[in-house]
Structure 1
Amino acid sequence: MQPATRLAILGGGEEELNLLSEFHRTAGIEIIGIYDRDPRALAMEIAEIIGVPTFCDDSFLPVFTGADYIIVTEKRKSFEREITLLTRERKKIINPSEAVNYLASGQAGGAEEGGDEAYQWPLHLEEALKYLNRITDRERLLKWLLEISVGAVGASAGSIMLYSEHAEELYIAYATGLSSGVIQKTRQKIGTGIAGKVAETMEARLLEDIVDTPLYREGRERQKIKSAISAPLDHEGKLLGVINISTNEGEKGLTRNDVETIEMLAGKITPILEQHLRIDSHEIREIEFQIRGYLETLFHKDIGFHDKFTYLSSYLAEKLGADTVTVYTATDEGDWLILGGSDQQLTIGSQATRIHCIKGSLARAYLSREEVIMTEVRHEIGMKFKPQEGGITSVYIPLVHTEPLGVIHFEFSSRDRIERFFRMKDTLRFQVGFFTYSQLRELRQSRRMDSLEDLSSITPVLVTMKDIKSRITHLPVLLSSLVKASMGSMHHSTPRGWEESYYHFPGEEPEKSLYREYDQEMLERVIARWEPIALSFMPAEVDMSEEPPIHHSIIAYPLFSSDDTKCVYIGYNKMPASPLDSSIFGRYEMELLGKVGEILVPLLAEGEEGMKGEGYMNFADLLKSNQKMLIERIRDEIERAERYHHSFTVTLFKINGLKEILEADYKNGLGLINELSLGIRTQVRKTDYFSWIESDLFGVLSLESYQRIGFLEERLSGYIRKVLSGTSIADPETCYPVSGYALFPGTQETPADLIREAKSRIDKQLKI
Structure 2
Amino acid sequence: MRRPVAIYGVSDETLALIPLLEDNPEIEIRGAYDAELVQARERAAHPAPGLRLTDDPTLFAERLHAVIDAGTLSPFSEAYPEAAAATQVLSPLTARLLWGYGVSSGDRKAELLQALHEIVESVNLTVEPQELFGRMLEIAMSVTGADGGSLMLLDHEASELRVRVALGVEPELWPKIRVPLGEGIAGRVAADARPLKVRGAADRDQFQIVRERFDVESALCVPLIHEGKVLGVLNLHCATRADAFDDDDLEFAEQLGRLDAEIITRAQEHETLRREASRYAAVREVREVLATAEPLDVRLRALCQQVARRAGGGIATAYLYDREDDSLRWVATSLDGAGLGADWRVDSGEGIDGRAARTRQPVTLNGADGRLAYAALPLLAGGQLVGLLAIQTGEPVPSGRALEEALLEMAAAAAEAVAQAEREARMSARSTKMTAINEAGIRLVSTRETAEVTRLATSSGALILEADHAVLRLQDPETRRYVIRSYYGSGDRRTQEELFQLDKLVAVDTLRGRQARLLRKIEAEPNLAEAAGRFQSALSAPLRRESRVIGTLSLYDKVAPDQFYAGPFHDDDLQVFTRYVSYVERALENALFYASSSQHRNFDEETGLPNGEYLAVRIDQELVRAGDQEGRLSVASCRIENLDEVRREGDVVRADRLVQQVALALREPLRDFDVLARTGEAEFSMLLPDPGPSPEERVTELARAVADRIANDDRLNEPVRVVLAFGYALHPSEGSDRQALLKRAQQARIRMV
Q: TM-score range by the shorter chain?
A: 0.5 to 0.7
Q: Equivalents in 1 of 2:13, 2:339: separation in Å? A: 60
- The one-letter amino acid of 2:532's match is P
Q: Equivalents in 1 of 2:497, 2:566: separation in Å? A: 29
Q: Equivalents in 1 of 2:210, 2:17: separation in Å? A: 48
Higher RCO (C-alpha 8 Å, min separation 6): 1
Alignment of 1:606-625 (within 5 A): 606-608=592-594
How far is the alpha carbon of 1:362 from its aligned partner?
Answer: 0.8
Q: Equivalents in 1 of 2:489, 2:99: separation in Å? A: 89
Choose 1 or 2 for highest CA Rg.
2
How far is the alpha carbon of 1:171 from its aligned partner?
Answer: 5.1
Q: 1:330 to 1:568 in 2, by over 3 A?
A: same
| Contact 1:317–1:343 under 8 Å retained in 2 | yes
SS of aligned partner of 1:244: strand
Q: Does 1:400 align with 2:380?
A: yes
SS of aligned partner of 1:607: helix
Q: Equivalents in 2 of 1:660, 1:235: separation in Å? A: 97
1:486 maps to what in 2? 468
| Contact 2:151–2:234 under 8 Å retained in 1 | yes
| Contact 1:235–1:274 under 8 Å retained in 2 | yes
Q: 1:124 to 1:277 in 2, by over 3 A?
A: closer
Equivalent residue in structure 2 for 1:176, among 155, 158, 167 = 167
Q: 1:308 to 1:274 in 2, by over 3 A?
A: same
SS of aligned partner of 1:298: helix
SS of aligned partner of 1:43: strand
SS of aligned partner of 1:432: helix
How far is the alpha carbon of 1:405 from its aligned partner?
Answer: 1.4
2:421 maps to what in 1? 439
Alignment of 1:22-37 (within 5 A): 24=11
| Contact 1:371–1:397 under 8 Å retained in 2 | yes
How far is the alpha carbon of 1:494 from its aligned partner?
Answer: 7.4
1:744 maps to what in 2? none
How far is the alpha carbon of 1:330 from its aligned partner?
Answer: 1.7
How far is the alpha carbon of 1:173 from its aligned partner?
Answer: 3.9
1:600 maps to what in 2? 584
Q: Equivalents in 2 of 1:227, 1:660: separation in Å? A: 115
Q: Equivalents in 1 of 2:415, 2:507: separation in Å? A: 43
Q: Does 1:15 align with 2:9?
A: no
SS of aligned partner of 2:556: strand
How far is the alpha carbon of 1:321 from its aligned partner?
Answer: 4.7
Q: 1:418 to 1:179 in 2, by over 3 A?
A: same
Equivalent residue in structure 2 for 1:138, among 113, 118, 129 = 129
- The one-letter amino acid of 1:549's match is A
Equivalent residue in structure 2 for 1:549, among 509, 529, 532 = 532
Q: Does 1:463 align with 2:445?
A: yes
Q: 1:523 to 1:181 in 2, by over 3 A?
A: same
How far is the alpha carbon of 1:275 from its aligned partner?
Answer: 1.7
Superimposed CA distance per residue, residues 79-130 of structure 1 (whole angstroms, 9 cap, x where no aligned partner): xxxxxxxxxxxxxxxx999942899xxx76443xxx6556886577535655
Q: Equivalents in 2 of 1:249, 1:538: separation in Å? A: 77
Q: 1:320 to 1:235 in 2, by over 3 A?
A: farther
How far is the alpha carbon of 1:349 from its aligned partner?
Answer: 7.0
Superimposed CA distance per residue, residues 421-469 of structure 1 (whole angstroms, 9 cap, x where no aligned partner): 3455554443222122223334333433442233233123323533223
1:698 maps to what in 2? none
Percent identical pairs in the alignment equals: 16
Superimposed CA distance per residue, residues 393-418 of structure 1 (whole angstroms, 9 cap, x where no aligned partner): 32222211131012223344667444
| Contact 1:24–1:31 under 8 Å retained in 2 | no
| Aligned CA-pair RMSD | 5.4
Alignment of 1:555-574 (within 5 A): 555-560=539-544, 562-574=546-558
Alignment of 1:365-514 (within 5 A): 365-377=356-368, 393-402=373-382, 403-412=384-393, 416-424=398-406, 427-493=409-475, 497=480, 498=482, 500-501=484-485, 502-504=487-489, 508=493
Q: 1:177 to 1:582 in 2, by over 3 A?
A: farther
Q: Equivalents in 2 of 1:172, 1:275: separation in Å? A: 19
How far is the alpha carbon of 1:366 from its aligned partner?
Answer: 0.6
Q: 1:459 to 1:363 in 2, by over 3 A?
A: same
How far is the alpha carbon of 1:559 from its aligned partner?
Answer: 4.5
| Contact 1:32–1:52 under 8 Å retained in 2 | no
Superimposed CA distance per residue, residues 60-95 of structure 1 (whole angstroms, 9 cap, x where no aligned partner): 46999xxxxxxxxx99xxxxxxxxxxxxxxxxxxx9
Bigger shift: 555-564 or 165-174? Answer: 165-174
| Contact 1:376–1:392 under 8 Å retained in 2 | yes
- The one-letter amino acid of 2:362's match is E
Superimposed CA distance per residue, residues 536-577 of structure 1 (whole angstroms, 9 cap, x where no aligned partner): 54879xxx9984633332332234453445342222233344
After TM superposition, the score normalised by the length of structure 1 is 0.60
Q: Equivalents in 1 of 2:441, 2:235: separation in Å? A: 80
1:663 maps to what in 2? 667
How far is the alpha carbon of 1:534 from its aligned partner?
Answer: 2.8
Q: Equivalents in 2 of 1:520, 1:447: separation in Å? A: 31
Q: 1:563 to 1:469 in 2, by over 3 A?
A: same
How far is the alpha carbon of 1:371 from its aligned partner?
Answer: 1.9
Alignment of 1:191-202 (within 5 A): 191=181, 202=193
Q: 1:189 to 1:50 in 2, by over 3 A?
A: farther
Q: 1:110 to 1:400 in 2, by over 3 A?
A: closer
Q: Equivalents in 2 of 1:448, 1:198: separation in Å? A: 67
Bigger shift: 280-289 or 149-158? Answer: 149-158
